[in-house]
Amino acid sequence: MRHDTGAQRHITVLDGYVPVIDLSAATGGGRASVAAAIGRACASSGFFVVVGHGVRQRLIDRMYSVTREFFELPGAEKDKVLSGPGTCGLSYSAGSAAKSMGVDSPPDLCEIFSANLPGDRDAERRRGSGGDCAPWDRANVWPETPLGFRPVWLAYMRAMETLSQDLMRLFGLALGLGEGFFADRADEPVSTVVANFYYPQAVPPLPGQMRKGPHSDWGVLTVLHQDDAGGLQVRQQDGGWRDVPSVPGSFVINIGDMMEFWTGGHWVSTLHRVVNPVEGHTGSRLSIPFFHMPNHDAPIDPVPALGRTGGAGAPDTPGERMTPGRWYAEKMAATYS
């Protein structure tokens, strides 16, 4: 990697396949330059790291504190909030994320807690956010222990949605569509926050077993915060794997399959994975991705003004408008049927 020079120094802090971009420059006269830097990253690797994002470190620290405390509870206590039909909550990894790529491998070495933005609404409003996208009309199930878990998670979700909405405005600017193009389709977002707790590895994993197998994200935009354990890798265009830079106080941003489809293949959704720690560094790992999604019924057909260059395909159903709800339901059906 190389450091940028000149006017770009204050925007692209570190250049490379996964660049580090300072979002604070977007609040002044550098907004167009920030958008351009984001556009270049989304067209090459689909990944970039942001600093200067405005999310309070105190909130991030509190989110990690209550979440790690939850995962360290006895199993019987955690199982009180197991996800089930119609609910979000705790789940154990019964398979590998690589299954979505048609690859059979041992289960990922993690357990998961999730909640979604519509999940605290009343049942009628949740159903209005669902329709053909059942995962988003699930009620959130909150643990009683640790104290403060629910308000911290809700505050974190609000902060992530604010950051995501600003990124979507920059996306519109980067693509020449105007800042409101994507943001105007997310006044009732159906976003989800997930905590991945990767187990300490006192015993060597099975052959082919990873903390998280290779996969791409299905949605529009992922905002990931991770601890300092490392392990996140993104696949390069030559098929090799590269470590994602670990920058204190940053978020890792990547676009998903839906955004690749929405942009007609101009931007790419890239495979990524979480590899096992090196010998001597076998502690646990905690990462918290926020999966931003627009309204469940927003039109996401490829933007005509951009043209098509290929990219992530969608089920061929002539005459039917593609929406996030339909996209997610058909992805689920294709993967798990």
Domain tally, the chain = 1
pLDDT at 16 over 60: yes
Q: When comparing pLDDT for 313 and 264, which is higher?
A: 264
Q: State the average pLDDT over residues 308-312.
A: 62
The token duo for 46 is 């689909």
**pLDDT higher than 90, residue 221:** yes
| Interatomic CA distance for residues 221 and 240, integer angstroms | 23
Q: What are 316's two structure tokens?
A: 């061929």
Q: Is residue 237 part of a domain?
A: yes
What's the number of CA atoms in the CB half-sphere (13 Å) around residue 157?
Answer: 23
* Other CB atoms within 10 Å distance of the CB of residue 133: 21
| Predicted local confidence at residue 309, as pLDDT | 66
pLDDT tens digits, one per residue of 100-147: 445 555 667 788 999 998 777 666 565 555 554 456 778 899 999 999
* Average pLDDT score over residue span 199-228: 83
Does residue 17 lie within any of the structural domains? yes
Q: What is the pLDDT of residues 31-81, one digit of tens each?
A: 999 999 999 999 999 999 999 999 999 999 999 999 999 999 999 999 999
Largest interatomic CA distance in the chain: 57
Among candidate residues 298, 304, 301, the one with its CA nearest the CA of residue 317: 301
The rounded distance, in Å, linking the Cα atoms of 170 and 181 is 10
Q: Strand 192-198 relative to strand 110-116: parallel, antiparallel, unpaired?
A: antiparallel
Lookup: tokens for 312: 């992530």
Q: How much is the pTM?
A: 0.88
Residue 267 lies in a domain: yes
Mean pLDDT over 299-325 rounds to 72
10 found inside a domain:
yes
Which CATH number does the domain housing residue 56 bear? 2.60.120.330
Listed in sequence order, the DSSP H helices in the chain are 31-44, 57-71, 75-78, 123-128, 149-174, 180-183, 257-262, 324-336
Flag whether 1 is in a domain. no
Does a cis peptide bond (omega within 30 degrees of 0) precede residue 146? yes
Residue span of the structural domain in which 29 resides: 6-336
